[in-house]
Amino acid sequence: MTENDAGFDPATLAFYSREAPDYAASGPDGTSRWLAPFLDRLPPGSRILELGCGSGRDAEAMIRAGHNVDPTDGIAEMTAQASARIGRPVRIMRFDELEAIEAYDAIWAHASLLHVPRPALPSILARIFNALKPGGIHFANYKAGGVEGRDSMGRYFNYTDRPFLLEAYAASGAWHIDRIEAYTSGGYDGGQGPWLAIEAHRKIA
């Protein structure tokens, strides 16, 4: 894997472009285990950006909960799947195309930033930081392991660990880390492995 400062891996994007219908259909029926506690921190009607919305499963739940949700994905084929599910257009946007400034109350990135090449992660997190209003909340989770690489399907993962993750957030903005939790979960490839979940908010100056 060569360094990629653009914030995305072309082979991984190509994989999701090819697999979008099967990937969307294979997801669990329920929402992420982290979504309910995330939403509990937000007042009704909060403006939420979702990065890497996939099938639209979590976006659908956030909309149902009464929030103003902006679901996005970097793959046109995936946004088509999400749009069909939630009944409205979904924006095509890669992480490195996020230009918003202090526009969102919260940013949800479930199982998506784990594909950002390691050298680019601080710059992507800086875009997320800048897009949040002061005090705004951010959630992301990452496959862990400590050494970047590819899975059996050819997808790139940054396979972060706690020190690297904390360093990347510290380098990207004035974050307050609310929690970071290790757990075990599965993925599209059917395997189980270690993950890290992080929730943080943009400090109020």
Residue 32 has pLDDT above 90, yes or no: no
Q: What average pLDDT does the segment 173-181 reach?
A: 98
Quick one: pLDDT at residue 89? 95
198 vs 30, higher pLDDT: 198
Quick one: pLDDT at residue 205? 79
Residue 22 has pLDDT above 90, yes or no: no
Task: Record the tokens describing residue 24, joined without a space.
Answer: 């969307």
Average pLDDT of every residue of the chain: 92
Quick one: pLDDT at residue 63? 97
Q: State the pTM of this model.
A: 0.93
Domain 10-202, CATH among 3.40.50.150, 3.30.479.10, 3.30.830.10, 3.30.70.20:
3.40.50.150
Q: Quickly state the pLDDT bin for 5 (edges 50, 70, 90).
A: low
Q: What average pLDDT does the segment 33-47 reach?
A: 96
Whole-angstrom distance, CA of residue 164 vs CA of residue 166? 6
Whole-angstrom distance, CA of residue 141 vs CA of residue 158? 11
Task: Give percent of the chain above pLDDT 70.
Answer: 93
Q: What average pLDDT does the segment 169-186 reach?
A: 96
**pLDDT tens across 90-141, in order?**
999 999 999 999 999 999 999 999 999 999 999 999 999 999 999 999 999 9
Domain spans of the chain, in order of start: 10-202
Residue 80 has pLDDT above 70, yes or no: yes
